[in-house]
Amino acid sequence: MLSRGRILDIIQQKIDDDGYFIVDVDIKQGDRIVVAIDGDHGVGIDYCVEISRLIEGSLDREEEDFELEVSSPGIGQPFKVHRQYVKNIGRQVEVLTKSGEKYSGELLSVNDGGFVIKEEKIVKPEGKKKKELQIIEHPFNFEELKSVKEILKF
């Protein structure tokens, strides 16, 4: 029987040894295996193919028919693991809290309990005519978050 644990057993050591990390392993209806992997400098298609072949070579299609998809997490997808936060330090992110508040700014730092972003806003101070740039640092705990994702600017 296909299970998340079984897929992790097959790929975890190789991915760790090669300097990459697992973002998600999901077994969907109809024995569809979906694996998302990443690295500090991204992950190429050739490496995804290599991991796909490792999984296929370790499973018996005669015993279990399955569909397999191995890819990087994808642009604009919410972060799922701590290492994605670390990888994105210095980049622009969008934060959505469980209470519905939305923030965007540069990811400054990450620790085991959360992270800090720097938000830049143009505001008009009370009693002044000219607008000013205001820089605010927002600390977040992982428990208070609904989603965090990288913002791509073109």
The 10s digit of each residue's pLDDT in 107-146 is: 999 999 999 999 998 888 888 888 888 999 999 999 999 9
Q: Please state at what angle helix 4-17 crosses helix 45-58, rounded to 10 degrees.
A: 130
How much is the pLDDT for 37? 98
Say whether pLDDT at 154 is over 80: no
Residue 35 CA to its chain's centroid (Å) = 13
pTM assigned to the model: 0.86
Cα dist. 26→5, 61, 111, 123, 143 in Å? 10, 18, 26, 45, 22
User: Model confidence over 26-73: pLDDT tens digits?
Assistant: 999 989 999 999 999 999 999 999 999 999 999 988 888 899 999 999
Tokens representing 56 are 């296929």
What domains can be seen in the chain, in order of their start residue? 4-71 (3.30.300.70), 82-150 (2.30.30.100)
